[in-house]
Every structure is written in C-alpha cells, then in structure tokens.
Chain A
Amino acid sequence: MSKSTLKFCWVALMAVAGAETAAAARWEKGYVVAFYDPAFRFGGRADYSRGTEIEPGVDCPHGSTVHFAVPAQVAQSLSLVRWRSPKEVEELANPPATGLNRDPAGVYFHTWRAASAYRGYNKAIETYINPFAAEDPGQPQVTSRIGEGFNLDGKVKPGDFVSPEGEKGVDNQLYRAWGCDAPWRGANGNGTLVLRSNDKMVEGLYTIVIRISGNKDPLNDDDATLEIGYSPDQIVKDARGNVGMDYSYRLLHSEQYTKLKARIKDGVAETEQADIHMPQIAWFENQTRDAFFRQGKIRVVPNADGTAAGLVGGYRDFRALYTQNAFAQSGGVQGVREHEDHVALYYALRRNADGMFNAKTGRYDGISSAYRMKLVPVFVVEPDRPMGIPSRESEARRRQAFDVTAAATIKAVDTLVPQEVPSGSGELAATDGIEIGPGGVPIRGRGGKGSGRNSAIPTKR
C-alpha cells in the first residue's frame, strides 16, 4: 500500500469517526414562550362588521358573541329567569341613567353584571357559582371544519376537525364550544383576553420555557426529550419591545413541569402522548396555576429565523376551564366587559365534552383542547438549587378569593346542591364601590367584602 493510499484511508477513517462523534453528541435547544393562546382558527375579516355582527366568518357565521352588548340581547337572556316579570326584564335591559353612576355606561355595566349574577331558578342562587341552575342562554359555536390540534383518541369522528395541513380526526372541542367567544376570537391574536393575557405574560406575570434535547442528529432524532415548565425568570424584551433572543431562563422542576419523550423528524419535534403539567393562560396572578392536559401532546415546528411554532393539546377538566375563565375577577364583571356569558360557556363545555370519561357519573369531565405558542430561542438552564414556584404575598387575598369561589363551584356542579357565595369570594367584591345584593340588586357603597359560607342554600323554589 502506497503512502498516499494510507494517508487517504486515515483521513477517511477520521472523517467517519468525526461524523459519528458529531452525530452522537448531545444537542439542546431552548425556547421561551412569547405568545400563548387557545388554538382558535379565526375565519372572519378583521375590522368588518355587519349590523350587530362582529367579524362574521367561516368559523362563526354571525361573528363573535355579543352577550351583554346590547339591551335587546340582555332582555332575551333575562327573560329566561322565571321569577322576573317581563316589565322587570325590560327595565333591567334598559336601566335609567340615574342613581348608581353618573356615567350612563356605568349604569348599564353595574345593572347588567348584577342581574346576570342571579339567573337561577330561585332568587337566592348565585349563577356563576351554580351555572347548572340557570337556563341555557345559548352560545354561538364554530361551524367550520378546519381546526388546529391533535388527534388525541386516534379516531376520525364526524365532529372532528381537519388540520390546516390536512390531518383528519383533530380533537379540539374547546374550539367548537368557545371559538366564537368574543374575548378569545380575533385575527392574529387580537381577541381582548388574548391580548391581555399575553401582555401580562410578557410583562412578568409568568414565564414558560421549553427545552428539547437529544444525542443524535438535531434534525432527526428518534430518542429526544422535550421538557416544558414554569420559569421564575421574567421575560426579557429587546430594544424594540419584542421578546429577546438568547437570554437565559431557569426551568423549575415544579408541579408545572413535564418531561416527555419526543421524536424529531426533519426538525419537527413531536412528543409522546402523556399527561402534561405546565402553566395555564392567566391575566391575573390568582389564575396562575397548572394547566393539566390529560393524554397531551406537544409539537414544535422550527421557523427559518430560529423561532418556532409550538402547539400543546390534550383533554382539560371542564371545571378548571370554567373557573379559570369566570373567576379572575367575578363572573358578572368578566361577562359584561368581555361580552361573554358564563352560563352559555358552561353548557357549551359540558355539551362538547369528549374526554376524561367518568364511569361513576357516566359523563365526560374533560374536553379536548389545543393551545398555540410562539417560541423564541433562548438558553434554558437548571436553577442553582431546587426551588418552587414563588408566591406573591400581596396577591394572597385574591388567590384565596379565586380558590374558595372555584371550590364552591366545583362542589355545586358535582353535587347539584346549589352553594352560597363563600366568604371572601370575588363574587362578593365591590366593583367601582358597587356590590351585588341577593337577587341581583346592585348596592352602592355598602363596604366590606360580604359574608356567606361555602354551604348549601335552600334548593326548592
């Protein structure tokens, strides 16, 4: 063998060995979630309205919900309350601009939020804690067939969506049920609560990070790992106000953390199907908690600029979704301000529930869902020492208000025994100095936070 041949063989051997070493090297990618919203596919035309219809489209033929937006609609909702006379309903729908507030809009706001909070079959039943005790006011639902998400049950059913890429059997009944709900619907994430929750997240309410790692080719690795969870580090913005790239974030192994097996194919990461714990969407501190996805999955699709598009899906407990949406402040405040009706949302959740079958009750406790995440590349690191999710002392009262209200609601829904508004609940808190008295009467300046216990109230009429 000539010297030159030997040299060639040596170089070739080294090249192969080097390639193998590179392929076997540990690789890691980190992302911070820069935008997080329910995977509701907007099908309207932005800024277009038709009469009272807001941005009608293929998703919602009559546009976004207009609950508590116009007197006629309010009258229709309150007419379902059997203990209210037609005259009373008319007066509540068109309140005189006197008395409660000098601002006429305020009169509507407080009158409607108060009346909306008492729509049960008797005057003593607070509606948002006991939604099953009020008649269904009806909810516009998504009628189109295209939707984002995952085929969670491995089946193709008549009510399933087809993904924009053509995948059949997509389970995202949360989109079906709530996709026309005004605060969550809009072009490019401009629904009011989408904007608000993302603004709060970017301003430091909570941070979510993702770390994908493996030991093979970062573009094709069938034995990778994806971790997702809460970070105690506030999102850092760049000089333009966008979420900055390449900063470092700690990933806590907390109750809002999950490690999943993943497969990378042509750069796209997709996890196994398993329970997922990670932060849920929040716009107040008292809502910051675990979004528990059962039989969940995560997909991360890289973009050419280094960012990525994430999708997380799974079945969520309908009670967690309902309370998360209703009780950040109070059901009435949220409903009138955002033009959504939590009674309608409650019934839509239960009607479309398709997971977490409860053999004891014979009903589904979960609904399939999917959430989008815009991901910005960062470094995800371990904390110096183990730590839990920090709590904010200043928010303890509000968090407790949420917890006691949610607990009362869950008890009511599970037992069908209507519950009183618990002491300290946000449902009792004054807004602009106005509280809500029994029967849905707005009361100015009574002060205090009300009273009551988490106990049963008379159920018969």
Chain B
Amino acid sequence: MKLCLLFGLVGCFVLLMAQEHPPMVPPADPGVFTVKPTGPDAFKLIVKGHVFTSRGDIEKYLAYRAARLAIEKGGQWFTLKEERGAGEGVAPKRDSEGPRYSFRMKNFRPVWRFKSNGSPEWTRWSPFTGAPFLSADPKTISDFDVSAEIVVRKGPMDDADPLAFEAWALSDLLVNQVSPPK
C-alpha cells in the first residue's frame, strides 16, 4: 500500500515536472552546429550532418539556431543575407504598404552542400537557381551542410523587410518542432 502511494507520488511529481518545464531542443553533437562572426553583428551559421531526414527539418533547425543566436546576442530580430550567385535571381522586394510579418518561413532559404553516392566532392545547391532540390537519391547522401548568414538587429523590427525574422516569434514556433541532425 505504502509502495503504491510512493509510486503515485513519484508519478505525480514526474507529471508535474513534465508539465511545468518549457520545451527544450536536445543539444547537438559536437560539430553539428557552428557559428562564425563575419562582421559587426553578422554571423555565418552552418549545420552539418550525415543522416539526411528532410530539407524542411534541417532548415527549420538552422532557422531555430539563428533565432536563438539573435536572442543570445541581445537582439530582437535578425535579417538573412541571401547567398545568391550571379544569375540566381533577385531578393524579394520590400513592400512597405503590404502586410507585415514577424517572419516569413518561405523566405528563409539557406544554401546546401552535400556528398552523395560515395563521391568525395561537394555538390552545391542554391534555392535561387530554380534547380530541383536534390539531384541525388537522398539515401545516398553521406554528408551535408546547410548555411545561412544573418545580421542580428536590436530595437523595433523592420517588419516590412521580407528577409527580417523576429527572433522570439520564430523560436516560439520552432522550439517544439526541431532537433539537431545526426
């Protein structure tokens, strides 16, 4: 009887702790996520892995880390610096009279590199070329990295900038959805 009561109490405690704790994203293995300063308040973020799950999952993890980095650096929002090569189109236009957003996930478009079919060579894929996402069978991908350069911003957000992301709002949306790739 006492044992039942004890188990019951422990169960209640565990349930209570599970309810009260905010959601957490599991820590990444060493080398999975790296940040390199590239200028004043500018950073290049790279997510690397070996097990390809889906484009969406991995890009969302990168976006989440970008949001968290902005918050850690004391910023309220960040802008994405698109990595467009020659002939890779133009950045989305600013519309100061259109709807305002805390973020537009469709505009978070990082650049990919991957190795597939046992090849030691990296293949680059840019979302701005118009080419399909993967030319290779995803199962044959042995290495990938996804990168984005951001600029951390402070103060009221420029919500008319199509490449602006409010850090807290993005983090709130993604915190329950992401985990680091392997």
Contacts and interface: CB of A to CB of B under 8 A. Distances in A.
Interface in A344-401: 344, 347-348, 350-352, 354, 362-363
Given A61-B97, A416-B176, A351 B169 contact: yes
29 contacts: A62-B97, A62-B98, A80-B105, A121-B176, A132-B169, A132-B173, A135-B105, A136-B101, A136-B102, A136-B104, A138-B99, A140-B98, A143-B96, A158-B156, A344-B99, A348-B100, A350-B166, A350-B169, A351-B100, A351-B102, A351-B166, A363-B168, A415-B20, A416-B22, A416-B176, A417-B22, A417-B23, A460-B176, A460-B177
Given A140-B98, A347-B102, A415 B22 contact: yes
A62 B98 CA distance: 7
A351 B157 contact: yes
A136 B103 contact: yes
A141 B97 CA distance: 8
Nearest to B171: A416
Contacts of B103: 135-136
B161 interface: no
B102 to A, nearest CB: 4
B79 to A, nearest CB: 15
Interface string A76-95: 00001010000000000000
Contacts of B19: 417, 455-456
Nearest 4 Cβ contacts at the A-B interface: A138-B99, A61-B97, A459-B176, A347-B102
Interface in B145-167: 156-157, 159, 166
B27 interface: no
Given A121-B173, A132-B169, 11 more contacts: A62-B98, A138-B100, A139-B101, A140-B99, A344-B99, A347-B101, A350-B166, A350-B169, A351-B159, A416-B176, A417-B23
B169 A136 contact: yes
Interface string B19-31: 1101100000000
Given A351-B166, A417-B19, A460-B176, A138 B101 contact: yes
B39 interface: no
Interface in B69-106: 71, 96-105
A176 to B, nearest CB: 9
Contacts of B22: 415-417
A440 interface: no
A362 B97 CA distance: 30
A141 B102 CA distance: 12
A461 B168 contact: no
Interface residues of B, number: 28
B141 interface: no
Interface residues of A, number: 36
Interface in A121-153: 121, 132-141, 143
Contacts of B156: 158-159, 352, 354
A332 interface: no
A123 to B, nearest CB: 14
Interface in A390-438: 415-418
B132 interface: no
Contacts of A362: 71
Given A143-B97, A459-B23, A350 B159 contact: no
Contacts of A62: 97-98
Contacts of B23: 416-417, 459
Nearest to A132: B172
Contacts of A158: 156
Interface string B21-60: 0110000000000000000000000000000000010000
Contact of B100 (A140, A363, A416, A418): A140
Given A135-B105, A159-B156, A461 B169 contact: no
Contacts of B100: 138-141, 348, 351
Contacts of B172: 132, 416
A134 B105 CA distance: 11
A121 B177 contact: yes
Contacts of A460: 176-177
Nearest to B57: A461
Nearest to A60: B97
A356 to B, nearest CB: 15
Interface string B107-119: 0000000000000
Nearest to A177: B100
B173 A135 contact: yes
A427 to B, nearest CB: 20
Contacts of A348: 100
Contacts of A344: 99
A121 B128 CA distance: 26
Nearest to B19: A456
A351 B172 CA distance: 13
A350 B98 contact: no
Nearest to A344: B99
Contacts of A159: 156
Contact of A416 (B20, B105, B175): B175
A460 B177 CA distance: 6
A137 B176 CA distance: 20
A174 to B, nearest CB: 14
Contacts of A456: 18-19
A92 B19 CA distance: 35
